[in-house]
């Protein structure tokens, strides 16, 4: 048994440590399956103190470590690039405190996003970020990647709903930033820890902002003959100053997969549909819905349906949020991208994606947060076929390059992880990246925590490096 393993078992007990190759298999990647690498050990702390002990052992033995939530990252955020210790926060899942009067809750990082919202439901409140994976993903993971979701168009992303964190720094010190009282003078460290993809330490406790549940919803389904008509509608809605709670687009290929899985009644001959939702007070919602319908019809919507019951609305959202699951019906593997373009550039971007698909002879379907300009093209392939994998990678790169060319970004909510690290120099100058590296060094001077994530040159000093295995490459 290695010294590392011995020390970790002595610290945490055997039931909190995984080390056999079979057990580690699950932890060699996340939702981004193109690159894989096995960690040496996976540990399951149940308290901040245990995280501190783990981090100290890793530092003593000079072993890299990284946090992991539910492993739903789509960018390799929890890929253990340099091996080492994966710190799973799955057993830290207590909702510590809920204070609706002061609009906050304190949760442990392993609390599943949806379970907090479900817990709050009887009180009339919720946690606003609602990524499609919300039934599985953890709030700690949301903090790491600054997650979004369909309703972040109106409500904002994770950082807009995090008031403070307790962080175990990479050297084992514990620090609390922020908290429920607003505007304490000083740097907004919370704001920069959110979205740092685990490179600043291990978040062990989170103060989240709670949001009142909307009194009512109006959920519309616009059916369009062409993708162009749908994207022009999006552009017109935003241009008219309408901010729906959610504005999602699904194209024909994804519709057929979803319909086969959920039988919602989507029209299979449509070019694209838009899910358009307004929420809030009941007063005024009908007028908003009518304005939306009018704009959709002006853009040649064939039909604008309304979800008439709560059950219908729930099924519509289930179909949308589990769209990725339905993709399994179309191909053995898929790779989804997360680019962002200015919202008025969506028609242009979608045409480009179609062109790229044709160029590389790949099927690409689209289901995405249209209101934010956050595209999620899904590239279908078979990971056993090396040539297809190559084409998928090339097509993905072309899509992201186009996002940059149109003035956008390569990731709206999934994160850079390892997947998009090569794009950072395209988005940022060497000076920009140098400032980011300086900031990282303030938190993580030895680069031992989440090495080789997000920034191209980071983590170069890790000794225990293994070359990541690439699927079928």
Span of 37-45, 185-193, 358-366, 388-396 interacting with another protein by CB under 8 A: 185-193
- Measured CA to CA, the distance from residue 261 to residue 263 in angstroms comes to 6
| Of residues 252 and 416, the one with the C-beta less far from another protein | 416
Footprint of another protein on 327-356 (CB under 8 A): 340-344
| Of residues 416 and 462, the one with the C-beta less far from another protein | 416
Which of 183, 309, 463, 467 binds another protein (CB under 8 A)? It is: 183
- Measured CA to CA, the distance from residue 145 to residue 167 in angstroms comes to 15
- Measured CA to CA, the distance from residue 388 to residue 384 in angstroms comes to 8
Binding mask 373-412 for another protein (x = CB under 8 A): xx--------------------------------xxxxxx
| Of residues 15 and 183, the one with the C-beta less far from another protein | 183
Footprint of another protein on 21-80 (CB under 8 A): none
Footprint of another protein on 356-375 (CB under 8 A): 369, 372-374
Judged by CB under 8 A, the number of residues near another protein is 85
Footprint of another protein on 226-255 (CB under 8 A): 235, 238-239, 241-243
Footprint of another protein on 270-299 (CB under 8 A): 280-281, 283-284, 287-288
Binding flag, residue 175, another protein (CB under 8 A): yes
Task: DSSP for 63-80, please give it.
Answer: --EEEESSS--SS-TT--
Binding flag, residue 413, another protein (CB under 8 A): yes
Q: Which residues of 406-422 are buried (b: 16+ CB within 10 A; e: fewer)?
A: bebbbbbbbbbbbbbbe
- Measured CA to CA, the distance from residue 343 to residue 359 in angstroms comes to 25
Binding flag, residue 460, another protein (CB under 8 A): no
178: tokens are 């922020």
Answer yes or no: are the C-beta atoms of 292 and 242 closer than 8 Å.
Answer: yes
Task: Say how many Å lie between the first and final Cα of the chain, rounded.
Answer: 32
- Measured CA to CA, the distance from residue 409 to residue 403 in angstroms comes to 6
Which of 196, 232, 299, 333 binds another protein (CB under 8 A)? It is: 196
Residue 111: CB minimum distance to another protein, A: 21
Binding flag, residue 420, another protein (CB under 8 A): yes
Sheet strands (E) in 139-290 = 162-168, 174-178, 202-209, 211-212, 216-224, 246-251, 272-280
- Measured CA to CA, the distance from residue 321 to residue 436 in angstroms comes to 33
Footprint of another protein on 142-171 (CB under 8 A): 145-146, 148, 152, 156-157, 159-160, 169
Binding flag, residue 137, another protein (CB under 8 A): no
């Amino acid at each position: 048994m290695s010294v590392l393993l011995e020390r970790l078992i002595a610290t945490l007990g055997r039931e909190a440590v995984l080390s056999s190759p079979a057990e580690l298999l699950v932890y060699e990647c996340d939702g981004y399956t193109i690159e894989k690498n096995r960690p040496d050990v996976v540990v399951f702390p149940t308290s901040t103190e245990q995280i501190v002990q783990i981090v100290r052992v890793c530092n003593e033995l000079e072993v890299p470590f990284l946090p992991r939530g539910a492993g739903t990252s789509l960018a390799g955020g929890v890929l253990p690039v340099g091996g080492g210790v994966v710190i799973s926060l799955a057993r830290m899942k207590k909702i510590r405190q809920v204070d609706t009067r002061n609009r906050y809750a304190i949760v442990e990082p392993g609390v599943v996003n949806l379970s907090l919202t479900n817990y709050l439901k009887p009180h009339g409140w919720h946690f606003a970020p609602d990524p499609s994976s919300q039934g599985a993903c953890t709030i700690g993971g949301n903090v790491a990647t600054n997650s979004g979701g369909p309703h972040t168009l109106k409500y904002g992303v994770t950082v807009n709903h995090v008031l403070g964190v307790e962080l175990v720094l990479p050297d084992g010190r514990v620090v609390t930033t922020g908290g429920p009282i607003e505007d304490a003078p000083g740097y907004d460290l919370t704001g920069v820890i959110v979205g740092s993809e685990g490179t600043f330490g291990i978040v062990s406790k989170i103060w989240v902002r709670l949001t009142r549940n909307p009194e009512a919803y109006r959920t519309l389904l616009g059916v369009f003959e062409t993708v162009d008509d749908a994207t022009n509608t999006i552009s017109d809605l935003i241009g008219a100053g309408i901010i729906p709670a959610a504005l999602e687009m699904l194209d024909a290929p994804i519709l057929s997969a979803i319909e086969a899985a959920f039988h919602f009644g989507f029209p299979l001959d449509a070019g694209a549909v838009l899910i358009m939702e307004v929420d809030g007070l009941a007063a005024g919602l009908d007028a908003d819905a009518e304005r939306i319908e009018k704009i959709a019809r002006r853009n040649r919507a064939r039909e604008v349906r309304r979800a008439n019951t709560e059950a219908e609305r729930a099924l519509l959202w289930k179909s949308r949020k589990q769209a990725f699951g339905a993709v399994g019906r179309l191909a053995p593997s898929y790779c989804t991208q997360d680019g962002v373009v200015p919202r008025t550039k969506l028609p242009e971007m979608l045409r480009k994606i179609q062109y790229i698909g044709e160029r590389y002879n790949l099927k690409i379907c689209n289901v995405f947060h249209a209101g934010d300009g956050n595209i999620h093209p899904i590239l279908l392939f078979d990971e056993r076929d090396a040539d297809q994998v190559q084409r998928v990678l090339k097509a993905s790169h072309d899509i992201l390059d186009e996002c940059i060319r149109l003035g956008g970004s390569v990731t709206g909510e999934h994160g850079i992880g390892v997947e998009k690290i090569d794009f950072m120099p395209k988005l940022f100058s060497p000076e920009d990246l140098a400032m980011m590296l300086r900031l990282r060094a303030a938190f993580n001077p030895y680069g031992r925590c989440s090495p080789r994530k997000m920034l191209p040159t980071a983590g170069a000093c890790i000794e225990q490096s293994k070359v990541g295995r690439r699927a079928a490459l």
